[in-house]
Amino acid sequence: MAVHLKIRGFIMKITFVIPPTKHGRAAERLFGCTFQVYAQPNLVVLYPATMLKKKHKVVVRDFPVEEYSYSEYKEWSKKDNSDIYCFHTVPLSRELDLSAVKALKKKPVIFFGPEPTDKPEIFLKEKNHYVIRGEVEASICSLVDAIENNKGFENVVGLSYIKDKKIIHNKNIGYIKDINTLPIPDRTLIKYKKYRNPKLPRSPFTTMLTSRACSYRCYYCVPCSLSYARELDWKSSKKGKPPVTLRSPENIYKELVEIKKLGIKAISVIDDQFVWNKERHHRICMAFKKVGLPFGILARCDRLTDEKVVKDLADAGCIYVDLGVESFNQEILNYCKKDLDVKTIKKSIDLLQKYGIEPKINILYGTSPLETKKTLRETLDKVKALDVDFAQFAVASPFPGTEFREIGLKEGWVVEPDVGKADPSKRSLVKYPHLPQKYLDMWVVNSFREFYFRPKIILKRLMKIRNFSEFKVYLKGLYRLTKRKDA
């Protein structure tokens, strides 16, 4: 370890690295369970980076957004003089990140995110490699202090590290009980003007969290990567899910004001479930309305059957809602513990459309052995019959910590247990006796083609494009979703 790291109070340079891919698409690290269609500002990185910025020089390098090749990244790594590197790793980025670390001149490396939380030993290849399990903000500053002073590692909660050639796992973090105490993410740490979301009417856009975790029991589901790491850490020592934590409307308004000051034009709120109690929901919507930034959310259909809730969203400037529909077969929904009446789906869509909010339908094939070729066709036909312009199709993957994985491994549904090899929008890791893996693979791609290659959908999308940059984003996304194999 460099001598200057031992000098108390030294201002270190800490770089958060999102490496470029060697080939193919970049992993989508914010939700963490698929590959990137369009780049999103990674809040899971910005929160700890902002905390460390109070004392140290902090740099965030999103190399895919900066359009670096992997060879250019390696050249950068030879010249960079950072004291510590940090990697937020999800299952689909594991191999890339482990490879990218090798170019970093044996400097200290901090890993965090769902994959290091689940498999810390894979990331602890060197004595100066460290893993923070669970919510990184709870421990990142303490760990950097310990690295700086070369002592105190035993006091860092949620830390896994090497001591005397043995891997030590400190006690779990649990969860951050008051997320209002966390800083507003410093979006100037990234090239925020480069991020564009085809579902939002203005650019650049940013991402935002108003809550953490989801209390529902869908047996296949993983939350956004921040909450997923939190959940995996919790489940390693406790049963069930960690409690949902909510930000106050006042705290959310403060962040909205900061976002608008930067000249950011729209927001994608990535809460796993945006609508909680009605009073808080109303106050949050009024905060969005006051600031005047269009936004989109994720929400359950059964949380959007109250007209007042939907009207508040519309008045606040909500542009779209991502709906986790998964299937139009009630028996399948019941089997996978979705706790959703299929009749609620159409009701929520109608209500959203009444108030001019775009519903985006998310379908997840293969969540149970009740899925058949017939149910696949019926679900796709029902999606096509809806008057909606956006649909996302994927196949269920056996992610660690889910009941779906536990049952799938026991029953023999799982073809490949390593979800690092998954591509939910193209490649299945499960099969059933009556539904082969290859058929599921084919059906996902077929669904995108059948849905998006209809003349009315193409015409609608083209009419909403305002400039050539948005046209390129649209074409690139469509190509990635509908081609059968990555180049």
d(CA 285, CA 80): 44
Q: Give per-residue pLDDT as tens, 448-482.
A: 999 999 888 877 766 666 555 555 655 655 555 55
Q: Give per-residue pLDDT as tens, 166-196.
A: 999 999 999 999 999 999 999 999 999 999 9
- What pLDDT is attached to residue 4? 38
Which pLDDT band holds residue 47 (cuts at 50, 70, 90)? very high
> Does residue 417 lie within any of the structural domains?
yes
Closest CA to 231 of 26, 18, 32: 32
Q: Are residues 191 and 275 in the same domain?
A: yes
Residues in CB range of 475: below 8 A, 6 or more apart: none
Q: Are residues 306 and 438 in the same domain?
A: yes
Strand order in the sheet with 84-88: 57-62, 13-18, 84-88, 109-112, 129-132, 159-163, 166-169
- What pLDDT is attached to residue 428? 85
SS3 percent helix, strand, coil of the chain, rounded to 5, is 40, 15, 40
Last residue of a domain, one of 169, 200, 216: 169
Which pLDDT band holds residue 5 (cuts at 50, 70, 90)? very low
CA separation (Å) from 349 to 320, 352, 389? 11, 5, 12
Tokens 């009605």 correspond to 278
Which residues face 390 on adjacent strands? 360
> Does residue 103 lie within any of the structural domains?
yes
Above 90 in pLDDT, residue 420? no
Structural tokens at position 12: 């270190």
Q: Give per-residue pLDDT as tens, 330-369.
A: 999 999 999 999 999 999 999 999 999 999 999 999 999 9
Q: Are residues 321 and 185 in the same domain?
A: yes
Residues in CB range of 322: below 8 A, 6 or more apart: 296, 297, 298, 299, 360, 362, 392
Q: What average pLDDT does the structure give for the chain?
A: 92
Q: Give per-residue pLDDT as tens, 238-295.
A: 988 999 999 999 999 999 999 999 999 999 999 999 999 999 999 999 999 999 999 9
Question: What DSSP designation does 6 have?
Answer: G
Structural tokens at position 373: 């070729």
> Does residue 12 lie within any of the structural domains?
yes
Q: Are residues 120 and 185 in the same domain?
A: no
> Does residue 56 lie within any of the structural domains?
yes
> Does residue 118 lie within any of the structural domains?
yes
Above 90 in pLDDT, residue 32? no
Our count of domains for the chain comes to 2
Query: Checking phi first, is residue 244 left (phi over 0); if not, alpha (psi -120 to 50) or beta?
Result: beta
pTM of the model: 0.91
Which pLDDT band holds residue 9 (cuts at 50, 70, 90)? low
- What pLDDT is attached to residue 469? 59
Above 50 in pLDDT, residue 128? yes
Quickly list DSSP for 195-247.
---TTSSSSSEEEE-SEE------TT----HHHHHHHHHHHTTSSS-PPPEE-
Quickly list DSSP for 437-475.
HHHHHHHHHHHHHHHHTSHHHHHHHHHH--SHHHHHHHH
More confident: 479 or 324 = 324
Structural tokens at position 465: 């494009």
Burial of 366 (0-12, 13-18, 19+ CB in 10 A): buried
More confident: 323 or 5 = 323
Q: Are residues 133 and 211 in the same domain?
A: no
For position 143, which CATH number holds? 3.40.50
Structural tokens at position 420: 């690092």
Last residue of a domain, one of 143, 169, 195: 169
Q: Give per-residue pLDDT as tens, 66-106.
A: 999 999 999 999 999 999 999 999 999 999 999 999 999 88
- What pLDDT is attached to residue 477? 58
For helices 437-452 and 373-385, angle between their N-to-C axes, nearest 10 degrees: 10
d(CA 159, CA 18): 21
d(CA 423, CA 425): 6
Q: Give per-residue pLDDT as tens, 303-319.
A: 999 999 999 999 999 99
> Does residue 343 lie within any of the structural domains?
yes
CA atoms within 13 A on the CB side of 36: 23
- What pLDDT is attached to residue 1? 36
Element (H, E) at 347: helix 342-354
Closest CA to 27 of 3, 60, 62: 62
Residue type, 185: P
Tokens 């259909």 correspond to 301
- What pLDDT is attached to residue 26? 87
Q: Are residues 159 and 191 in the same domain?
A: no
CA atoms within 13 A on the CB side of 415: 19
Q: Are residues 186 and 156 in the same domain?
A: no
d(CA 474, CA 387): 20
Q: Are residues 147 and 200 in the same domain?
A: no
Q: Are residues 146 and 258 in the same domain?
A: no
Which residue segment(s) compose the domain that 361 sits in? 179-482
